[in-house]
Chains A and B, each alone.
Chain A
């Protein structure tokens, strides 16, 4: 059974392997082993720490297969993006240009370098082993973070965001980078992507445009990819939308990939949360739920399970699920339907 838990120093070998193979590069996981070790140690400390407001904490999650003990994925949360450095994104503003006399009224979009997301909690570092097929594992890995946030509100900002990969062609060329970034940097996207350290380096302020960039004046190819996820990020994009993330306010400064934002209060993990009591019985037929448990000393687990739709039925969990979550009969767990209700009525198609 697949479950999500905090990463540990004991996972270092597996994490190093993932950090090196992940495409595109995971800014939250350095390739250098010592830096990676420091990162994992920071995560362990973060999970254990008493936190009243978000700061330098970094939360690293891993996806483990309980049968093989093998790590199959990772994802993370940066408590405050940029922290002491600014976090850069393009804010997508709509400017109204209207003339009564000429009967012209037009909305013109302009991209402005913005620090507005600085200090907000950011979902990052999502990676799933390519051998895992279907969307379920990706749903679990990605949304476990929101399950953690929903259960640990003080550790994060009320609004969170996530930056997804923008469109590149078969040669890895980003049309938006060619039209904008390259003019300022005079270098290849891949070079700068690695050096940019997740959009928080001060050189971004030195090199990227100070004035807003008018979207309609850009070449067609660049306009087309604005706010569009790459095909490799399409699943992640849909998972975010299902969670309640919104698009269009921000795009990435380099490849114009979507920057999705969500008010935690309005996200699925908060609004659809049901706290249920664990029952030791055979799994019921119903719908797929994200099921999470916050243990002591910074422990956190999340699995997917089939639960009866009726909340009063509690959470009937298999032995494997109870073991993965570290719970017993009578413990409270947070349960959130994986999909919106209209899609998983009991009479509907099976998941």
Chain B
């Protein structure tokens, strides 16, 4: 069974193997043992309540419990920007009007902002190419909302997610060409690497200090503002279905959109229910071709979530023994259940 679970200290080797499957571009998940071990340690320390607020963050792995194969990762940062500033552009509206001339024009300006400071962030999602057709990407991404629902008190009021912006077929960003390259004078990938590794001093030194008028930029750069990378559109749809919205914040390098919401408004937080688990034999369990639910345990240090057949019935949820074992659930334990929209069952 495929489950998503919080990372354990023993996962570093498996993470190294998985990280070798990433291509260039993903800057936060590289086959760097020291960095991966630190990330795991940080997540464990967070769950042990030993992490400072600025370093608190959770990290999850997707595992096939039948084979022990680790096939994906994702993360949640508790509160961004508390040590290194968290920069975005806020896309503001500027109206210029003259009654005398009968002129009214609306423009947009990009303002460097720290508006999202203190927001939780869902991040670092990577799914092995070997699993991309198996319909488990949705589970990997949504598992984090189950965690947020279960441990609501460990998070601030709001959540954000940064999405990759538009890149040309040659892999370059028109927005970076038109804006960032003039200010930062370094390659996009270098800037992205430095920024995602906490070396953000250059941003403050080099970034535009005044708002940038969008309409004065070349057309191809204007179109990038808030535009999602073609490969990231499914992720955006999933986040939007969960309740996140584009609220006029974009990335400072590629102008990709930032999606935001109040954690309390997340669909999974609003709709998921806690019910006791009953462990039943296969004959008594829900049919595999019927409605399905995302189900998690309630353990912080061994949080596990997966998709199983069935919906809550009579104030309880029926799990097969194998499912209960994979999810780390004993009979009578509370489980968090989020019934899936039927058509999304295996999507």
Residues on A lying within 8 angstroms of B by beta carbon are: 95, 97-99, 101-102, 104, 106, 108, 110, 179-180, 183-187, 192, 195, 201-203, 206-214, 216-219
Decide if B217 touches A185 in the complex (CB within 8 Å): no
Residue of B97, B182, B183, B213 near A183 (CB, 8 A) is B213
Residue of A179, A187, A195, A208 near B216 (CB, 8 A) is A179
Decide if B205 touches A219 in the complex (CB within 8 Å): no
Decide if B185 touches A106 in the complex (CB within 8 Å): yes
Cβ contacts under 8 Å, A95 to chain B: 209
Decide if A207 touches B98 in the complex (CB within 8 Å): yes
Given A97-B206, A185-B105, A187-B101, 16 additional A-B pairs, CB 8 A: A99-B206, A101-B199, A102-B184, A102-B186, A102-B202, A110-B210, A179-B216, A184-B105, A185-B101, A195-B101, A202-B100, A203-B100, A206-B96, A208-B96, A213-B216, A214-B210
Cβ contacts under 8 Å, A192 to chain B: 101
Query: Chain B interface mostly helix, strand, loop or mixed?
Result: mixed
Chain B nearest Cβ from A185, distance in angstroms: 6
How many Å lie between the Cα of A201 and that of B101 in the bound state?
11
Chain A nearest Cβ from B189, distance in angstroms: 14
Cβ contacts under 8 Å, A98 to chain B: 205-206
Q: Which residue of A is nearest B181, CB measured? A: A216
How many Å lie between the Cα of A104 and that of B182 in the bound state?
11
Q: Which residue of B is nearest A183, CB measured? A: B215
Cβ contacts under 8 Å, B100 to chain A: 201-203
Residue of A101, A210, A217 near B182 (CB, 8 A) is A217
Q: Which residues in chain B, 144-199, are within 8 Å of chain A measured between CB atoms? A: 178-179, 182-186, 199
Decide if A217 touches B179 in the complex (CB within 8 Å): yes
Given A99-B205, A104-B206, A184-B105: A206 and B217 interface contact (C-beta under 8 Å): no
Q: Tell me, yes or no, whether B94 is within 8 Å of chain A by CB.
A: yes
Residue of B105, B178, B210 near A207 (CB, 8 A) is B105
Cβ contacts under 8 Å, A213 to chain B: 213, 216
Chain B nearest Cβ from A344, distance in angstroms: 45
Cβ contacts under 8 Å, A179 to chain B: 216
Q: Mark B89-126, 1 if CB is under 8 A from A, else 0.
A: 00000101110110101010100000000000000000
Chain A nearest Cβ from B188, distance in angstroms: 14
Residues on B lying within 8 angstroms of A by beta carbon are: 94, 96-98, 100-101, 103, 105, 107, 109, 178-179, 182-186, 199, 201-202, 205-206, 208-213, 215-218
Cβ contacts under 8 Å, B109 to chain A: 211
How many Å lie between the Cα of A195 and that of B103 in the bound state?
13
Decide if A206 touches B208 in the complex (CB within 8 Å): no
Residue of B97, B105, B209, B216 near A217 (CB, 8 A) is B216
Residue of B96, B103, B184, B209 near A104 (CB, 8 A) is B184
How many Å lie between the Cα of A319 and that of B41 in the bound state?
100
How many Å lie between the Cα of A216 and that of B105 in the bound state?
23
How many Å lie between the Cα of A219 and that of B217 in the bound state?
7
Decide if A217 touches B103 in the complex (CB within 8 Å): no
- Which 9 A-B pairs rank lowest in CB-CB distance, beginning with the nearest? A203-B98, A216-B182, A99-B205, A206-B98, A104-B185, A99-B202, A211-B211, A183-B215, A212-B210
Q: Which residue of A is nearest B102, CB measured? A: A187
Q: Which residue of A is nearest B204, CB measured? A: A99
Chain B nearest Cβ from A201, distance in angstroms: 8
Cβ contacts under 8 Å, A183 to chain B: 105, 107, 213, 215-216
How many Å lie between the Cα of A104 and that of B212 in the bound state?
21
Decide if B107 touches A184 in the complex (CB within 8 Å): yes
Chain A nearest Cβ from B33, distance in angstroms: 26
